[in-house]
Structure 1
């Protein structure tokens, strides 16, 4: 046994030694390198290419070719070499024990052959004759935002994104200026073929790319929906092959980006004492009211997707969870979303598929309508809350409520469930003919609940009893709104290539219907316990109910011809006929044509000998699009019942009356646009750019016109087509990408848009006065001929009266003292019409919120596995109205720190800041400030784990990153934010705006 055992040990030892030898040999074979040399040339000219990166795949080993295109590198015999250079198609070549490898790189024609999405189809980028821009989803997902449109900011010329920091809110998208006054201004979104006005339900990580159609030639195929631009969202699809799993997520916190510093207790007491003439003493309390209602908010965003398939069926499934706590107390938004996209290929003739997404949004909304304004005005000498939870009673001291109570005693919850989907069937009986039918639907169910707690102005609620801030009865409002929008498209596409002629013809029909139903209910005395917040638990004697609804339909016929001759001369023509139930029968149909032409100069024979331009294209277009976004009953005269009318003796008799005058001949708002553009790619794709000029005129716009009051109690105005607006602009986009070494590459891009907006004809319509603030400033804007929409219309401040002599010497030519009741420290206003008094007739135009220019700058740097990017965004030439200052209405209202320190006194003689005052100032240029700003919109630093390491942990990719939004804003405006959403005729007034936020987050992208 011992002999046998020893023999067995000998054999085992021999085998172990052999295995070790083989391992050492294998290791030596793997690590042994050979010297490889070669020459890299340009395929079309056979000339040597300098600066080509030659890298060993899966490693950081690499080199670059010299001036003649030659290289030398050490590589393992089983290694793979990657040859890459900007402007050329990369190649991978196995070494295979060779010591000499020559490679010819071909031009990268991505610029020419890139496929972009256009209305109801796709085209080669080179064949497009309209103004479009494409942004890849990979660029958008880097930012921790709710919607893709927020991440678009600064990335597309001609596209202005106005974003709010409020959780759950969608940004405003303006394409080439504001083209309407009273009708809808929102851009049209098309998600996988479904038309919608909101994409807050779409997870950005699910998006492949966003295509923005800007000019009438590109948007005319959408007819009545295209006047404000079209944003096409394409979500991810599966690909045949093994299943892949991807995770993307980030988490971080949000802070207010810009705070307004208010006067502290001492500064406040000094200011108010001077303004009122009564001594106000600062006590031990100095409350920062904004500090009491603002906080650091937490945000997180997670997405998980699975994709794969076979040659017969592919799939893409995803789930996402997004939370934004917001920077205002008691404010949080949550969204859960799922998506399923699937495509089936039955045979060479028939394909089908569907896209479906569901999203649940839960929005706990903070009561900012009063809280924000009260925080600005509240006296800092009052505490917000004591240790026992009782509130400081600001209304005892002044006519302003406690902002903390405003928020905490109001519970506003909105829950929406949204299902968006489409299904298609595609039949291709022959190679040149395709029939496609697409049915899409968008269903939203919104439930809202607002509960206001009961509280009295006694010691159970307040530290000090009294005042007027109270709610003697709790109350509950609930509502349910359901909307359903379906679209049904049937399209036939003819595509034929004959010699040098390429022709694509699209014809089809599309129908859509929108329905809305809404009901609300209200009751008082609902119990405070949250599980009892139901209408049935309240006082039935206080119950009120209401309801409304809407329904409209559209039916359309569309056609488009795309013609390409010899890849040099391009022609696109479209015609769409739209019928809308929102107009009377005689004006129901609108016809929207467009034509575009392009010349691929770079493909001409006389350009073949040059080596500067890879692509040079000149294009021009003209087209008309429409806008039917008006209330469905705008042309129908309605009678309001149950109105009381006093007859003789003062007895009120119930009856009915016409309360509105309506135009029975309303018609489409029509936008006509001319566009001229030059696109180029130069220096092997290193430099790309585009220049566009556009002239966009919107006519037959809806506006109110005064008419004699001849029927019942009509208000004497009628909504009719009686205005025109013009936007003229220039767009410039330039991008450069380069390589400093084999490890270091960079990119830099920028875009700028110059836009001039003006009302060019009211045609008998009355100027629109809007933007009222408080009782003393009933309007601050005027939309009128020759001015931008929503221009500020206010008194001109000339300075500050320094003394009584200054007041008495301010006279008109007739010798009248213009402001006899003024005192030193009061504003001196311009007597514009010279009538010796200051009133509304002295107002002047003082700019508008419409920017004269907006721009974006995008930088990127990659060093080995590290990547860094910075995005800058801004606009110039617009004005903002500081509505917070204008709303001061009481001598005891607080003031900003700068107002307290810079106010006029007889000692400093300020000409820009008035003396201590009680508020209630008239609308003037004092409240108008520059809205120009430049902001570092996003900065991201990432690290991608090398492939050799991800292979070891069985991942296909892994990237970690840190990102920051709104790091720095350069601005002149003294308020919270100069980015303000609102109606065109009153936009640009900061009153209760949610501040923009800074976000700092870390994230992870991983593939399995």
Structure 2
């Protein structure tokens, strides 16, 4: 009996100890071991709780077996079971539910869950985990409806097209907003400094930016300092780059065979009795050289990148500081680029109501440009021409063709470009009332650039041909300059001021109102000063100094400036939601621009949108959807970056007319142009329907959007009948339509503590065309010039912008000549036989992303697919005579002994622009494979986090195009979609390291 009583007493005692409260301590951090101050820790089922301090530490009393709930804004809630331990390190993961994200929109932020517009958000962390040289290229395949035409040229950004082209002659680029600074490009932004990139796609999101928003807006927010100890990070990567897809050209023997056959064809066409059986070597015979010109002008490209940053602060002041340096050696020999960026972001809490912040970014960049036309020259030059002959002189093709020596051209191209750019923003926030705040911001952007271009004209002449001499160069003109130097300085500045009120209030716990009212003023101006001198010494230390040239009589200078361009704007926006269920939004902006004529300076732009969160309805409580939101919006936007026109007057020879009683001859002035008085911005109207959803406990999320976007007053050319004597002029006479569907799906799951993965897929369909014109004298502009007298594009109703307009090769005749479709049945091949044959604009873009985390390993794979576009092989279509040809052209050519249905016989004449040179631009490419490993904590004494990774960029492409790359940026009527002087897509391999300490 005593034993039983003792056992009962022991059990009760142990139970009391287990149930007794004890003091526990801990720290709350993110996955990078950064403390999270202000995190909430509550004992589940009670009101007992605390917040973490400045260093993320906490202490409270709890019992064994109880659960503490840890919450922090932007991070997933975590529950921790209290055991016999007294110290805990709690790591929070960033919130995976996309609908809970805070999205940066114009002049404010909105929670994704109550957003009624189409916005794509990319986190800076996604950019930091892989080597990225320009931020826009990193967007490719990650944002539905955002087409990125990548460029791998050193220092150049990719072209961004959002929801298709809405202009023919205006600017096609989106507006960039960096920490509130409105700018035309982000080449000066260090990718490592980016916190988020938000792409505003539809009118309901864009209207707040008025007449600069019709091409879309990219809002970039850079990193800020957080409360806590100073955190230092250092990131670096280095790598090598080569051409992803080479073009096989004919070797010397194949070139000689082809060129002799072409010469024979010319002789036979001219009536020469020479026949195929009597063929001998006409001009070309066996040669000791077999030059690979592409190898001669290219090298393995090198990339090095270094970034260091420091962040941290107190309750009153927080800062982020960074320095980044990257250096690129392009694959084109001598083509180099380097850039240094410095950033300072500081936030001050002066008191509970007044806050001040500033952001300053500085870029210093040096560029040594080389003409991308060297790729075309290397393609065309004969392999029988040596790089240098046995005497060391540059090889010359005189007597063979008119193509230059690309190695010599690169060696003699001597240019230097230097850029100094500063962006600064200074913002004050004052809380007038608990629900009302006032913001005033002043921002400035200025850029200074210097361009040096030295030309050794005598040296280049002598290098062109070994038989050239100084005597031949001067040839009776003793004053002909030996060298020429031009130096140009440019200066651009842009400032603007924003003042606005923000009102946020909740009434009766269900009526949520957020309103913004403000005004903005800005101005920009540019100026340049240029000077030149001749006979500057060729010495490297003197050749860039104008004063070292001949006397002042041979020097020249010029300068100028653009008129001040001012913009004054008023804007307003109201967001309302009832119990996070019924959503309404309306925005308005009135822009006044000094660049337009009186009466057309001001424009009104607006948008309205609505949303319905169905999963907040009672009838959806048992639904399988975690979140389901429907939204719709309509708005009108503008594009102020359009071509302007002035009336021109001409005088001169032949401009004398009889006038007066005696009919004396007087010099007159001819007016040969006119303009439309109403020329101003282009207006885009857009209707958007969308849905957002999450399923399976937030594991599957997605968005679907359908849009119709119309530019209702596109600027096009008018050509009056010749009797009027008026040149073509511009007017608002066109309507351009883009309509499409965008779909995004993301699946993420955590198998266990060691294994997590995510899969993403996005798809975009866009159909583009010029739907109508309103003037009978519409001039169908042509473009896509090949530099050989041929054009490739035309603008016409019911066709996409930038459509190819070509002759149709329908076969090869019994003489090996192209047979063209005689569309107009007049028996000859003329302009009436051209047809529209597709556009460089793709119809479908597909991105696929995969990520995997297993223990300390991480893997990311991104792919990109483009379908439905066409590309014109401009290099292949530029043959004038005895230029090289692709090996496939040689293999497929027609000969009398081997007739071909796909290739013509060898020829030397300029070919007509036809579909023979038009190819499919469809391609599938692996954009990125990155494998990383993060060392365990405390592996090193100095670093608290070390991640090592290896990356393959563009390791594989599957394409139909026979040229270097199907991605060819440019203007709609320019070289977009035409491979001519284009930079190839590169394959890159990098190794890198991310550290923090």
Flag whether TM exceeds 0.5 (same fold): yes
3-state secondary structure, aligned to 1:441 = strand
Q: Is the 8 A contact 2:398 2:465 kept in 1?
A: no
Change (3 A) 1:655 1:139: farther
Deviations 1:669-713, CA, capped at 9 Å, x for gaps: 0000000001011111110100000000012111111135689xx
1:985 and 2:983 aligned: no
Change (3 A) 1:312 1:644: farther
Q: Is the 8 A contact 2:259 2:906 kept in 1?
A: yes
1:799 and 2:811 aligned: yes
Change (3 A) 1:466 1:157: farther
* Residue of structure 2 equivalent to 1:677: 690
Change (3 A) 1:708 1:466: farther
Deviations 1:591-625, CA, capped at 9 Å, x for gaps: 01100100001111111123x22110000000010
Deviations 1:215-246, CA, capped at 9 Å, x for gaps: 01100000011000000000000011111100
* Residue of structure 1 equivalent to 2:353: 349
CA distance in 2, matches of 1:546, 1:654: 29
CA distance in 2, matches of 1:88, 1:317: 28
1:737 corresponds, among 722, 745, 748, to 748
1:206-355 equivalences under 5 Å are: 206-277=193-264, 278=282, 280-355=284-359
Deviations 1:803-839, CA, capped at 9 Å, x for gaps: 2xxxxxxxxxxxxxxxxxxxx1110000001111110
How far did 1:375 drift? 1.2
Change (3 A) 1:574 1:457: closer
Deviations 1:906-952, CA, capped at 9 Å, x for gaps: 33322221111114011111010001111100110000111242xx4
How far did 1:571 drift? 0.3
CA distance in 1, matches of 2:665, 2:844: 58
CA distance in 2, matches of 1:958, 1:460: 54
CA distance in 2, matches of 1:595, 1:224: 17
1:147 corresponds, among 126, 134, 145, to 134
3-state secondary structure, aligned to 1:989 = coil
* Residue of structure 2 equivalent to 1:517: 527
* Residue of structure 1 equivalent to 2:832: 841
CA distance in 2, matches of 1:555, 1:995: 43
CA distance in 2, matches of 1:653, 1:1000: 71
* Residue of structure 1 equivalent to 2:629: 617
* Residue of structure 2 equivalent to 1:997: 986
* Residue of structure 2 equivalent to 1:537: 548
1:397-796 equivalences under 5 Å are: 397-455=400-458, 462-463=465-466, 465=468, 473-499=482-508, 500-532=510-542, 533-539=544-550, 540-550=552-562, 551-610=564-623, 612-631=624-643, 634-639=644-649, 643-645=652-654, 647=656, 658=671, 660-707=673-720, 716-764=727-775, 765-777=778-790, 779-796=791-808
Q: Is the 8 A contact 2:641 2:681 kept in 1?
A: no
* Residue of structure 2 equivalent to 1:884: 875
- Greater Cα shift, 547-556 or 294-303: 547-556
CA distance in 2, matches of 1:395, 1:648: 50
1:111-150 equivalences under 5 Å are: 111-150=98-137
* Residue of structure 1 equivalent to 2:382: 379
Change (3 A) 1:427 1:746: same
How far did 1:154 drift? 0.7
How far did 1:93 drift? 4.2
1:917 and 2:928 aligned: no
Number of paired residues? Answer: 900
2:823 corresponds, among 799, 822, 832, to 832
Q: Is the 8 A contact 1:457 1:469 kept in 2?
A: no
* Residue of structure 2 equivalent to 1:32: none
How far did 1:740 drift? 3.6
Deviations 1:766-817, CA, capped at 9 Å, x for gaps: 111111213341x21011100000100011000111x2xxxxxxxxxxxxxx
How far did 1:87 drift? 11
- Greater Cα shift, 240-249 or 715-724: 715-724
How far did 1:374 drift? 1.8
Structure 2 runs not aligned, ≥5 long = 1-17, 19-30, 35-62, 265-281, 475-479, 659-663
1:945 corresponds, among 925, 928, 935, to 935
Change (3 A) 1:142 1:474: farther
CA distance in 2, matches of 1:275, 1:81: 86
1:963 and 2:951 aligned: yes
TM-score, normalised via structure 2 length: 0.86
- Greater Cα shift, 524-533 or 381-390: 381-390
How far did 1:530 drift? 2.3
CA distance in 2, matches of 1:82, 1:385: 78
* Residue of structure 2 equivalent to 1:5: none
Change (3 A) 1:87 1:791: same
How far did 1:95 drift? 3.0
Change (3 A) 1:988 1:82: farther
Q: Is the 8 A contact 1:275 1:916 kept in 2?
A: yes
How far did 1:549 drift? 2.6
* Residue of structure 2 equivalent to 1:811: none
Change (3 A) 1:619 1:535: same
How far did 1:109 drift? 8.0
TM-score, normalised via structure 1 length: 0.85
How far did 1:302 drift? 0.8
CA distance in 1, matches of 2:586, 2:490: 41
3-state secondary structure, aligned to 1:976 = coil
Change (3 A) 1:994 1:292: same
Structure 1 runs not aligned, ≥5 long = 1-36, 38-54, 59-76, 804-823
1:899 and 2:902 aligned: no
CA distance in 2, matches of 1:897, 1:472: 42
* Residue of structure 2 equivalent to 1:358: 362
Q: Is the 8 A contact 1:87 1:683 kept in 2?
A: no
CA distance in 1, matches of 2:737, 2:220: 28
How far did 1:328 drift? 0.1
3-state secondary structure, aligned to 2:838 = coil
Deviations 1:394-452, CA, capped at 9 Å, x for gaps: 23431111001111101121111000110000000211001001111110111111111
1:868 corresponds, among 855, 859, 872, to 859
Change (3 A) 1:426 1:469: farther
CA distance in 2, matches of 1:82, 1:996: 53
CA distance in 2, matches of 1:322, 1:228: 30
CA distance in 1, matches of 2:678, 2:748: 55
Q: Is the 8 A contact 2:655 2:668 kept in 1?
A: no
3-state secondary structure, aligned to 1:218 = helix
